[in-house]
Amino acid sequence: MPRLVSGVHLTGWGAYAPSQILTNADLERMVETNDEWIVSRTGIRERRIAGPDETTASMAAVAGLRAIATAGLQPDDIDLILVGTLTPDFPMPSTAALVKGAIGNKHAAAMDLAAACSGFVFGYATAHAYVASGMAKHVLVIGAETLSRCTDFTDRGTCILFGDGAGAAVLSASDEPGGTLGIEMTTDPSGAYLIWLPAGGSSRPASDATLGAREHYMKMKGTETYKMAVRTLGSTSQAALKKAGLGLDDIDLVIPHQANVRIIEGLAKSLDFPMDKVFVNVGSYGNTSAASVPLALNEAVAAGRVKKGDRLLLVAFGSGLTSGAIALEWTADPANAARAANIGPGDVSIQPGYLEPINPFPPALEWLLK
């Protein structure tokens, strides 16, 4: 593997989490579960649920606009928009195309990236390649999900885990030292069906039979996925560090995919890395798939856990089975987050009109609206 071309920096960051909260107590009323079981097995206490007027694109656009502002850029400075998601608004057009329209960018190329929970990290790696090659100067990378729309709220093995949200970063060319130092990406199809969404694609197009069999919801073999996650997150982290020429002692903060606090603790243990240098926010959001790493990154910066010169390791794992890790030196001023303080859902313009007939709120969650 050739050494990474440097000069690619994370210059902007932003996130958006919907305001509705689904707690463990709420889930206790929906399936046979309890707060004690959920907290002890997963660390999750609550998750966010997108509102009836929100979609993956609308949340992605707010996170993206915040990242652009933090970078000190205008939407039109962005040359490429990448959205990692497994819950696009539609199979086509891409969610990235909707985001481009919503943020008012006129000239960027825009495309989605399907790598499930590794979507943001794979998007970061792709953005890095575009910037390093000179094909783009500024790339907007977003991880965004509306998992509540494909979660089976009658399946206690999965419905306790997932939540909605979006996170974004801008990668930019710069001659400064630091920035991206090492990248690893792996895909292991031997575990492709450990976590999957069976119907709605070309293999099982929507039919009465697929609807009746609840095949439009995520399915997961939890215990097998768990074991693969701990193993793969560790090996991917080590590989990215090796490519960066770094050791774990050089890392100030690990920001892992937030699937389950026990998976994160298992990762830290396998690496012999202290948990106080691992960022965890799964308790407040659950597993938000591609949104999880950038949401955690945003909270880590906001919490003062990231300073100029810090070396971070971002690492993710997801369906595919995909896994990716990024070692980077943080070069931005965390105070730049203030530039995005006033940006909210009212600042993006998703084309109105298409939501009403085709986007019913998940029936199992309608009570949340009352």
Which residues in this chain contact ligand UT7 in the complex, by CB under 6 A? 33, 37, 41-42, 117, 156-157, 160, 195, 220, 222-223, 225-226, 229, 259-260, 263, 287, 317-318
Selecting among 9, 105, 117, 128, the annotated active-site residue is 117
For residue 29, what are its two tokens? 């009323």
Catalytic annotation present for 287 = yes
| One-letter amino acid for residue 28 of the chain | E
Rounded Cα distance between 48 and 204, Å, is 30
Rounded Cα distance between 339 and 336, Å, is 6
Q: Which is nearer to ligand UT7, 226 or 273 (CB)?
A: 226
To ligand UT7, the closest distance from the beta carbon of 343 in angstroms equals: 28
Q: Which is nearer to ligand UT7, 80 or 160 (CB)?
A: 160
To ligand UT7, the closest distance from the beta carbon of 220 in angstroms equals: 6
To ligand UT7, the closest distance from the beta carbon of 161 in angstroms equals: 6
Question: What residue number has its CB nearest to ligand UT7?
Answer: 222
Selecting among 159, 257, 260, 298, the annotated active-site residue is 257
Residue from 342, 336, 287, 333 nearest 118 by CA: 287
- Give residue for tokens 């896994």: 323
Rounded Cα distance between 105 and 358, Å, is 26
Rounded Cα distance between 228 and 233, Å, is 8
Q: Which is nearer to ligand UT7, 94 or 287 (CB)?
A: 287
Give strand ranges (E) for the chain.
8-16, 20-23, 46-49, 80-84, 109-113, 138-146, 164-173, 179-187, 195-196, 219-220, 253-256, 311-318, 322-329
Q: Which is nearer to ligand UT7, 82 or 220 (CB)?
A: 220
Q: Which is nearer to ligand UT7, 263 or 278 (CB)?
A: 263
Active site residue ranges: 117, 257, 287
